[in-house]
Amino acid sequence: MSKSNHPIEQEELMAYLDGELATNRAVAAAAHLEHCAECQELAADLRKLSQEMMACEVEAVESSSEIPDEIVAALEKWKKEPKKQASIRRRWSMLFTPRKLVFAGGSAVVLVLILSFFSFSALRPVPMARFSREGAKLEGYYRSHGSMPKAVAPPPSPNAYADLDGSLNGNMAPGIVGQHVTRGREAESISEGDEINTSIREVPTAPMIARVAGITLTTKEFDRTRASLEEILKRHSGYLGDLKVNAPAESGRTLTATLRIPAPQLESALSEMKKLGRVEDESQGGEEVTQQYVDLEARLANGIHTEQRLTEILRTRTGKLQDVLKVELEIDRVRGEIEQMQAEKKELSKRVAFATLNTTVKEEYFAKLQGTPPSTGSRFRNAAVDGYNTVVEGVIEVGLFLLSAGPSLLLWVAILFFPARWAWKKLRRKFAEPDLPSAS
Amino acid sequence: MISDEALIIEFQRGSREAFDELFARYREPLYGFFRRRLATKDRAEDLAQETFLAVIRAAVRYEPRAMVKTYLYGIALKLLAAERRKLSGNEPQIDDDHEPAEDSPSDNELWVRQALEKLDSSEREILMLREYEQLNYAEIGELLRLPVNTVRSRLFRARMELKSFLEPKRKAQSRTRSSAQGEAKS
């Protein structure tokens, strides 16, 4: 029996017989049942089943009117117990009535929303002077209380932002911020006790900055500088993102590397690197990713919540196979998004925890004196070889041209040959005929 | 007639009469609940008694927002689950040697019991709560923590399966009757 043939489904008919159908559907069911033989048969079957089940009686309990001794004893004991506890509990239960709980829950949600709004406001970019003061205070607090909490990204060094302060006119703009540091400026190092933080807590309180710096050095001792570079990297618990060494024949070698250094140790690593050679260029910048991180966090939480709800639906609801498959597909999609967001979050945390230091080391090149020039015989021989090569190359080029353009040339010659010959003959005849005198 | 909820509140205040009334109202239904699900009569009586003892112990925690009927069957279901856990692996839950009724049951009753045993446990529980305990869909859903629509669809499935199990037996019975009538006429 399908809905296309019957206005009510079989389940609805059963619910109608059980008195569990909504009034409007019950009216429709009653009307349909009056004239549908198939539904009447089903209703009769269902009623018969109920009757058969009810026919299975159990024997009566012995002495059903008497209360067993155990229960009487328990009642006596319960009666003797002071009712103070019960009255207190009742009072508590009166205090926490469902209505009051709903009201309290609603108030708590509103309060949390207001607090969240202020928290987000607090996360917005603040004037740099204020930020520097607060950053210094926070750092001082952490230093006085031992190491920084593991789950919190350490506040950036106030000095790093003090440099930025001048160029940005006291305000830190959201998005990419950066500036060129004048050569030779000393950067203050961060205390050595700072820990490397690879994980970021759920809601960051300090701005999260992904720091990027660049340095170009020129050195006379290339190999030694490279070894020192690796040593500095090791000392600061950093790692090598990318390395490329270029060694052209008549020029100095160049090393280009991307180093990933724990953000708090960037300044000290930079100052050590400056000692390796002559600094040609230096730059520092930072991208504030707090908003991006918070957004990602919120989207991730929503995704997880959606996945849980879908899984719950799949677990508890029954329905058609098609609906189940749809829910499973939706779960697959949501899971994919969650994994992508988790990867983004991890990458973002890594960018904040480890600063990127683009390093270029150039070797100072000293031109070497050439040896004796080649002999005349070898120069003649080289010239002959070059000439031969040129001839062979020319023949090959012509052959290649004919092979590639030949077919199309032949086609055009075949097309244009007869019109051209006709035109040529006509022209020749015209010029060959003598001027005849007029008939008059 | 005083409602069950009013009675239990009276009992919370210390009224013994209120408890007596509740006991009178629910002793038989609770005994029937356990008797239909357990092999022995004594154990069914014990567990029905246990249910009332649990009510006495937890009387202070009862809140008027829950119906007494679902509250009692909720306790009964928990006791039943504990009993089944205890019995699992030791002995079958329903022993054919111990028929629930003292008198020998009819063929129909036996078939119904056997057919019920063949049902999926969750569907069987819903069907039994509906037919024997006369709970409505919402109450069953509350007890088993299931949405009402799930209760409805499982109940329908259970009834259809029960019907399919009983159908061949009914046909065989009707054939036997008709042949017996034919012999009597001849």
* B100 part of a folded domain: no
Q: Which residues of B touch A46 (CB under 8 A)?
A: 159
- A281 has which bridge partners? A216
Q: Is A180 an interface residue toward B (CB < 8 Å)?
A: no
Per the domain annotation, does A205 fall within a domain? Answer: yes
Among B64, B92, B120, the domain boundary falls at B92
Partner-chain contact A55 B108, CB within 8 Å: yes
Q: Domain check: are B172 and B147 in the same one?
A: yes
pTM value?
0.43
Between B99 and A206, residue with greater pLDDT: A206
The CATH number given to whatever domain includes residue B36 is 1.10.1740.10
Q: Is A363 helix (H, G, I), strand (E, B) or coil?
A: strand
- Is B84 in the same domain as B7? yes
**Closest chain B residue to A53, measured at CA:** B112
Residue (of B49, B82, B152, B151) closest to A75 by Cα position? B49
- Say what the pLDDT of residue A284 is: 85
Whether residue A356 lies inside any domain: the answer is yes
- Report whether B33 contacts B76 (CB < 8 A): yes
Count Cα neighbours of A182 within 13 Å in the Cβ-side half-sphere: 4
Residue A70 has pLDDT above 90, yes or no: no
A223 and A265 share one domain: yes
Query: Which chain B residue shows the shortest CA-CA distance from A313?
Result: B147
- β-bridge mates for residue B161, sequence order: none
Name which of B31, B128, B139 to mutate to probe chain A: the one with the most chain A Cβ atoms within 10 A of its Cβ: B31
Of residues A268 and A167, more confidence is placed in A268
Is B148 found in the same domain as B117? Answer: yes
Is residue A228 located within the same domain as residue A355?
Answer: yes
> Which carries the bigger pLDDT value, residue A202 or residue B68?
B68
Domain of B77, in residue numbers:
1-92
Residue B15 within a domain: yes
Q: Residue A113: inside a domain, yes or no?
A: no
Q: What are phi and psi of B127, to 5 degrees?
A: -60, -45
Q: Considering its fold, how many domains does chain A have in total?
A: 3
The domain containing residue A196 runs over which residues? 188-371
On whether both B73 and B9 belong to a single domain, the answer is yes
pLDDT, chain A, mean: 74
Predicted pLDDT at A85? 52
Is residue A84 predicted with pLDDT exceeding 90?
A: no
Instruction: Kindly state whether B52 is in contact with chain A, defined as any CB-CB distance less than 8 angstroms.
Output: yes
Q: Could you identify the residue written with the tokens 């003090």?
A: A162
B179–A contact, CB cutoff 8 A: no
Instruction: Evaluate whether residue B97 is within a structural domain.
Output: no
pLDDT digits (tens, 9 = 90+) for B42-66: 899 999 999 999 999 888 777 777 7
- Short-list B160, B60, B4, B133, CA closest to A82: B60
Same domain assignment for residues A196 and A316? yes
Total domains in the fold of chain B: 2
Interchain CB contact of B101 with A (< 8 Å): yes
Lowest-pLDDT range, A15-24, A52-61, A270-279, B23-32? A52-61
Whether A306 and A326 map to the same domain: the answer is yes
In this predicted complex, what is the ipTM? 0.83
pLDDT at A385: 94
Q: What is the pLDDT of residue B29?
A: 92
* pLDDT score at B100: 46
A215 plus A307 within the same structural domain: yes
Question: Does residue B87 sit in the same domain as residue B129?
Answer: no
The tens digit of pLDDT for each residue in A381-394 reads 999 999 999 999 99
Domain containing B165 — which CATH number? 1.10.10.10
Q: Average pLDDT, stretch B82-99?
A: 65
**B62–A contact, CB cutoff 8 A:** no
B contact residues 68-97, partner A, Cβ 8 Å cutoff: none
Residue of A74, A65, A72 whose CA lies nearest to B58 = A74
Whole-angstrom distance, CA of residue A310 vs CA of residue A334: 9
Q: A302 and A334 share a domain?
A: yes
Whether residues A314 and A397 share a domain: the answer is no
Give DSSP secondary structure letters for A171-226: B--SSEEEEEPPTTPPPPPPPTTPPP-----SS-SSPPEEEEEEEEEEES-HHHHH
Separation between Cα atoms, residue B62 and residue A93, nearest integer Å: 10
Residue B99 located in a structural domain:
no
